[in-house]
Structure formats: structure tokens, C-alpha cells
Structure 1
Amino acid sequence: MKYLVLLFLATTMVSCLSTDDTAPIIVEPIDYTAINEEEINAYLTANELESETTTSGLHYIIENQGEGEKPTASSNVTVAYRGYFLDGSVFDQSTDGLSIGLDQVIAGWTEGIQLFNEGGSGVLLIPAHLGYGSFDFNGIPGGSVLVFDIELLSVN
């Protein structure tokens, strides 16, 4: 019994030791705001597009304002969309429409979809800080500008 107690104490003492090798590695996020702004402006110039910009840095182009109801940040909406990177590579799309709450999506969508009325369509150019940030997420590289062609089908 005496040996079991000593073994227990020795195990406890060894397991409580900390070394620099076990310290968590903290990766600081990168601020892509200025880089994304340059990338968006280059994209707009190359494609001969003009956008409006919100105070948060979201760029948007309203092709058709629409005439129906305007959603709020907590609305559930149905949106047909195509999401792609500045190089044109498509990463997601829904031509039939996706029904989702605007409080359940990236900040760029929450803000951007509210700029349209039901039936409206246009383009959202979303910098990383309003998208998925500076870390990779489900196949989307950290720091990416996201472009969405959207059509607000309905405010549910």
C-alpha cells in the first residue's frame, strides 16, 4: 500500500510539471482590411464596375433594387446566389434559393442583403473581416474577399 501511495504522488507531481513544449501556440489574426480594399478596387477596375461602399467596408452593386419588402438583420430570407473568389472560382451557389436567417450568416450577408428589397439583385464584395476572417474555413482561404451575385427572392 505504501508503494501505491508513493507511485500516485510521483505520478501526480510529474504530470503537474509544465514545460514550454506544452504551452499552447496562439496564432494572432491578420488584419486584411487594407489588402482587401486594394484587391476589391483592382477587381472593380479590371471588370469596369462601380460600387458603393458602406462604413464597414462592404462593397455592393445594386442592379435591381426590387419593389417588395426590405429585410432586417433578424429576417429569414430566401436568396439565390453564386459565391466566388476574385479570380472567378466558384465556392458555393444555390440557384433555387437558400432560406436562412440573416442572423445566422456572415456579417457581409447580414449587412448586404438588407440593402435590397424583395425581388432585388446585385453583387456583394465582402472583405475578410465581414466574411470568414484571417483563418481558413471550409475550403475558403483566410483573408479572402468573397463575391456574391445575389437575388433576394423573398423575405419570409
Structure 2
Amino acid sequence: MKSLFKLVLVLGLFNGLYSCQNDSGTTITEDRPYDEVYLEDIAEIEDFLDTHYVTVDADYNTTFTQIPDGGTQTPISDMPELEFKEVDLHDITYKVYYLNLREGSGENITRVDSSYVSYKGFSFAKTTVDEVDTYTQTVFDSKQSPVWLSLDEVIRGWTEIIPRFKTGTFSAMADGSISFDNFGAGVIFIPSGLAYFSSGTLTIPSYSPLIFNFKLHNLRRRDHDRDGILSMYEYGPDFDADAIDTDGDERPDYIDVDDDGDGVLTTVERSFTYLDGSETKTGYYPYNGALIDDPSTPYDDTKGIPSCSDDYTTPTRLRRHLDPSCRN
């Protein structure tokens, strides 16, 4: 069984392998070019979409069946639910197809959040006998009970597509279990360059495009650098672009404890002092202030992290933790 998580190479191994002979005479095989593999992958994926139809049950589980000769079933490629996203990576513009079976009714998730998902992943392979093509589908991983997956730590195909869906609702049952409803549900068809590429297992061949049926039940906002500002705010407004790196130190703001590189920690720059009776205490401005002030607190809850000129509310203000000329 293969995890969705990215494969981490052991320190000291080559990230890109090349053909050579080591001292023991073992041949190391060079990875195939990404563009060459992608052309094969996208052809296989589109052929699968043209030759299969999907059955969706009441809980949004899917079954893919090859259309027989003369069959009248609607191929996946003709379904209005089929969409795609273009992803630029490896000097290639990948096309990632996905079925939007249900968008979901809850919150939008971002690529730096944790997702609470159930899923089934499988590979597929085509064989041709007497000019008749037959597809074999192999399930390599399945989580019918939801699990937490951080979207910046999984294969790239998930990182790109899951944020196009929303969470749902949930309620506690009498037996102590949780029932989920109105969740986002879909299917992703992922080229190998956005999955495991040359890394193969007994159930996932090298350079294999993959299919995942998924359900997005819930989310958890993350604060990667623990500076009190959610990573979704520090990443930047465009989640299809690279994360913002304010000080240019090659550490994006959401994993940088000093975002503007001025030598003052972000947590310090968002702090303030206030009097609670006769006692002086330290508080921390949120990224955005509350809509309504809480009268039970001895400070103004509507104030977010201010600019150097003490602007606490303008959405486009340059907050002081991003301004190296500003000192707390």
C-alpha cells in the first residue's frame, strides 16, 4: 500500500538518478524525461476517459466500467462534471482532469491546510489482444474512514485539485460516531509527473498515471511557523502561484519566523501591551480584527495587525510584520 505523502529521499541519495556503474557493478537507470512521459500519460488518461463510463452511488463512491462495443453509456469525456486544471511544472503545462461530482457546501480549503478525507486510489493499464483493448484497474490504497492529510505534503496532483472543493457538514450520532454530509466529492486523474513518476511499487508501476476517488469532509487551518498568523494568509492571495517570500531569503513567509528579515520575530511585531486592571499584559493582534468588539476584553478586538502608521483595518495595508522599515 502506498501513501499519498511525497516520497522523501534519504540524505545522500541523488535526487535525479543517472546511468552509471558503481563499484559493485550495479547499473543505475536514468529517469525518463518528464515531457516524454507526460505525452504518454495524457494519451492514456484521455483514452480512459473516452472508453469508460462511471457509476456513482449515493455516497459518491465511483465505479469505472469500460464501454462495450456498441454501448450507449456516456463516456467520462462527455460528462458535464468533467473539468481540468493546467499546472505548470517541469517546464510542462500539465492538464489535470477531474470530476466535480459535488463541490461541497462548507469552507474553502487551501493548499496549506490539512484535509480530512476518505479516498480510493488505483492505477490502470491497457492490454491489446487481437486488436481488442482491455483495461485492468488495480486499487493500491483505500481509506474509507477519513484521515488527515496536509495538502502541502501530498502528491502535487492532490495539492492542485482538492482546493477546488469545499468541506461539508457533520453531526454526532447516538452511538458516538460522526456522520458527514454535503461534503465535496470528486475524482482526480493524475499524470505521473504530478504523482510518483519513476518511483514504483508492486501495485504502482513506474511512470503510471493514477486515479483517485475522494471525499473532502473537513479541514484544519495550519500555522506552519507558529507565529500566530494562519498559513493561508501568509501564502499570498494567489494559490496558483508560488508562496510569497517578503524578505527574499528563500523561505516563504508561511514557514519564516521573521517575514520581513528585519531581525524582529513576526510574533513580536504583532504583539501589544495593555492594562488589565493594574496589571500590564501582552496581547497579539490577529491578522484581521473581529467585526465586532468584545466588551469583555480590555482592548479593541476590531484591530488587526497594524501598519507602521497605525492603520488597523484597511484590507490592503502593509502590515508592520511585512515592513522592514517598521519597528515594534
User: TM-score when scaled to structure 2?
Assistant: 0.40
Give 2:116's aligned residue: 78
Q: 2:43 aligns with which of 30, 38, 46?
A: 38
Q: Contact 1:80 / 1:151 at 8 angstroms: preserved in 2?
A: yes
Q: Size of the alignment, in residue pairs? A: 137
1:52 aligns with 2:54: no
1:94 aligns with 2:121: no
Question: Deviation string for 1:18-41 (max 9, x for gaps)?
Answer: xx7628855322231000101001
Structure that is richer in helix per residue? 1
**In the TM superposition, what is the alpha-carbon distance from 1:53 to its structure 2 partner?**
2.0
Which runs of 4 or more aligned residues in structure 1 lie more than 4 Å from their structure 2 counterparts after TM superposition?
Answer: 23-26
2:100 match: secondary structure: strand
Higher relative contact order (CA 8 A, sep 6+): 1
* AA aligned opposite 1:45: D
Q: Contact 2:114 / 2:219 at 8 angstroms: preserved in 1?
A: yes
Give 2:107's aligned residue: 69
Cα distance in 2 for partners of 1:55, 1:21 equals 40
Cα distance in 1 for partners of 2:155, 2:112 equals 13
Structure 1 pair 138–106 and aligned structure 2 pair: CA distance change class (3 A): farther
Give 1:6's aligned residue: none
Cα distance in 1 for partners of 2:29, 2:137 equals 30
**In the TM superposition, what is the alpha-carbon distance from 1:104 to its structure 2 partner?**
1.2
**In the TM superposition, what is the alpha-carbon distance from 1:89 to its structure 2 partner?**
1.2
2:199 match: secondary structure: coil
* AA aligned opposite 1:136: G
Q: Contact 1:29 / 1:135 at 8 angstroms: preserved in 2?
A: no
Cα distance in 2 for partners of 1:85, 1:65 equals 24
Question: Quick check: which has more Rg, 1 or 2?
Answer: 2
Q: Contact 2:198 / 2:207 at 8 angstroms: preserved in 1?
A: yes
Q: Provide the alpha-carbon RMSD of the alignment.
A: 1.8
Structure 1 pair 44–113 and aligned structure 2 pair: CA distance change class (3 A): same
> After the TM superposition, which residues 7-156 of structure 1 pair with which residues of structure 2 at under 5 Å, given as runs?
22=23, 25-30=27-32, 31=34, 32-47=37-52, 48-50=75-77, 51-56=82-87, 57-86=95-124, 87-118=136-167, 119-137=183-201, 139-156=203-220
Q: Contact 2:190 / 2:209 at 8 angstroms: preserved in 1?
A: yes
Provide structure 1 residue ranges, at least 5 long, that are not aligned to the other structure.
Answer: 1-19
User: Mean Cα displacement is larger for which, 111-120 or 131-140?
Assistant: 131-140
